[in-house]
Structures are given as structure tokens and as C-alpha cells.
Structure 1
Amino acid sequence: MSKFGELIDVKIPVLLDFYTEWSDQSTAMHPILRDVAAALGDKAKVIKIDVEKNHDLAEALRVKGLPTLMIYKGGEMKWRQSGEQDANTLIALINEYI
């Protein structure tokens, strides 16, 4: 989990997407997250985390529904929601923390 701490303890916002490949809602978010990353460039990070490969982390963060999206900045969780989101909503949310 120390690697997780390094990922989120940065000065720019970090959008985390907890997903699995077998979840249709999770895979539907992939192109949306690509659009968000492209729109924000180096002003924010978008990181996808496969809960099957990172079970301990998902459990520690109490990830139940998929996809679960979180925004961190400076190591602190700023926003969290489960379920699909559109690109414009995510970009607006992240812009609040830039």
C-alpha cells in the first residue's frame, strides 16, 4: 500500500477508477476516462485500478460497487462515488481541485 500512498500524495488531483473487466459499467467508463485524461493533460492524473489485482487495496478503501471513482489531492480523498459518470462531470469535479 506504500505505492498507493505515493500515487495519491501529489500536488495535482488524482482520479482513481476501481474497476473489473467483467463489469459492463466498469468497461463503459474506459473511453470516458481516456477523454477526461486527454482534456486535463498534465493538470491531473487518471489511474485505473483493477480490483481483481488489487484486492487488498479495494478492501481497505471499502470499494463495493463498480466502478468506484475517487478524487485525491495531497494524499486526501476529496470526492468519491460509485457508478458511471460522464466526462464533463468528472472534468468539472477535478477542475475544482486544480
Structure 2
Amino acid sequence: MTATTTATDSNFAAEVLEADLPVLVDFWAEWCAPCKMVAPVLEQIAAEYAGRLKIVKVDIDSSTETARAYGILSAPTLNLYKGGEVVAQIVGAKPKRALLSAIDPHL
């Protein structure tokens, strides 16, 4: 079972902007090799931070409105939302330690 959730243009507001927990959104694409490298790390973080952080994946090729609205220009881009606002952004595949150092201050 996956620890992450998927969002689309139609449910992004409900899954991310209206969430009670901070939400890390992985803007990714099927053709993106770095996205595939970071995916298992995000699954680990989702499992370890269950109840404190929600991780949502948005396919930028099928959810173009959302990607455009948040100015996503490269994949992977990870936006951390808290209270519906972007509080941190990570562009590119990073090791787990780097991801956690960007996330932890906002939890």
C-alpha cells in the first residue's frame, strides 16, 4: 500500500489547500528519471511522518492547470504547503536528509 496520495486539477484544493496537516506536493512526470529516483524516498518519509505530514503526487502532464498555477517549470518540484500557502520549495531530486531539513522546520 502506498503512503502517498494522488491529486489532480479537480481535487487539488481539497487534497492540499484545505488539508489539516502540512502537505508536501511532488510535482512529477512519468518521463522524469529524477522523479523516479525521489519517489521511494517520499514513500519512506510519508510512512515515517504519518499523522504529521501528508505527501501528495501531482502528475504535471495530466494536471497542467495546477502545475501552471504554481509556476512549476521543472520536475521534480516539491512544494510544502501549510494552511494553503507554499512555505518551502525544493527543485530537483535531493537526498532524504536534504528533504527533511527543508520540511522539519515547518512541522
Normalised to the residue count of structure 2, the TM-score between the two structures is 0.82
Q: Give the CA RMSD over aligned residues.
A: 1.5
Aligned to 1:3: 11
Aligned to 1:85: 94
The letter for the 1-side match of 2:44 is: D
Shift in alpha-carbon separation, 1:15–1:42, aligned structure 2, 3 A: same
Among 17, 21, 31, the alignment partner of 1:22 is 31
Among 70, 76, 82, the alignment partner of 1:67 is 76
The letter for the 2-side match of 1:15 is: L
Aligned to 2:3: none
Q: Report the count of equivalent residues.
A: 98
Check conservation: 1:9, 1:73, Cα contact below 8 A: no
Larger helix percent: 1
Q: Percent of pairs identical after alignment?
A: 30
Deviation at 1:81, TM superposition (A): 2.3
Output aligned runs, 1:22-41, within 5 Å. 22-41=31-50
Deviation at 1:5, TM superposition (A): 2.1
Check conservation: 1:44, 1:94, Cα contact below 8 A: no
The letter for the 2-side match of 1:59 is: R
Aligned to 1:52: 61
Contiguous gaps of at least 5 residues in structure 1: none
**Higher mean C-alpha deviation, range 50-59 or range 6-15:** 6-15
Distance 1:81 1:5 in 2: 20
